[in-house]
Amino acid sequence: MREDLKLAAVLLGYPDADLLRRAGRFLRDESGPCGRAHLLRFVDEASAVPPLDLAGHYSALFDFREDLALYLTFQEQGDARERAPALLALKELLRRDGFSCPRGELPDYLPLLLEYLAERPQASDDDLPGRIAAVLGPMRERLPEGDPYAHLFDGILAALAPPRPSGAAAARAPQGRGAVTA
């Protein structure tokens, strides 16, 4: 999960053709969880787009559409005054774990938060992965049909999903109403 989040954090930043080539080589050489297939599909589709066109597409999506802005608290609260305390809380969370926010970037920038989740020392009692997933899901649904970034969002959501119980743990897991069993 950590490697996938780290790679996804970089891929969700401004597009770079060299980075896409290196990410494609890495993903083809490394097997991993199901999220990797989504990341590779994103890399393959994004690499097929001329670099200037991909950069323009990225800006049109994430810089000029508020409903796809890559800022956690903006997606949660909009451009409201209540956002300021949430930004301060995120800044303190990052600082507590020795993770610094790059100069000029807000602490709720989603690529930064994904990188933080990939690098933080241990799981925390905060629900940051759940908060990120809660905004990325609806954002993913707002992406245009067939957009390569949908694959990237799918990969991130797969990496953020809590691990499913397997084997004996799955057998002991409670079955919900209407659950399909084999």
| Structure token pair of residue 68 | 């796809």
* Exposed/middle/buried for residue 139 (C-beta within 10 Å: 0-12, 13-18, 19+): buried
Q: Which long-range contacts (CB under 8 A, 24 or more apart) does 18-24 make?
A: 20/46, 20/47, 21/47
Residue 158 predicted with pLDDT over 80: yes
Report which secondary-structure segment, H or E, holds 45: helix 35-47
pLDDT at 171 over 70: no
Q: How far is CA 76 from CA 17, 101, 118, 128, in A?
A: 31, 20, 22, 12
Render pLDDT for 125-153 as a digit per residue (tens, 0 to 9): 678 999 999 999 999 999 999 999 999 99
> What is the mean pLDDT of the segment spanning 45-69?
97
pTM (two decimals): 0.85
How does residue 165 score in pLDDT terms, banded at 50, 70 and 90? low
Quick check: 174 pLDDT over 60? no
Note the pLDDT of residue 64: 96
List, for residues 12-41, the tens digit of each pLDDT value.
999 999 999 999 998 988 766 666 899 999
Please state the rounded mean pLDDT for residues 153-178: 66
Q: What b/e string do you get for 6-35 counting C-beta neighbours within 10 Å, with b at 16 or more?
A: bbbbbbbbebeeebbeebbeebeeeeeeeb
Rounded Cα distance between 8 and 35, Å, is: 10
pLDDT digits (tens, 9 = 90+) for 66-121: 999 999 999 999 887 889 999 999 999 999 988 988 888 999 999 999 999 999 87
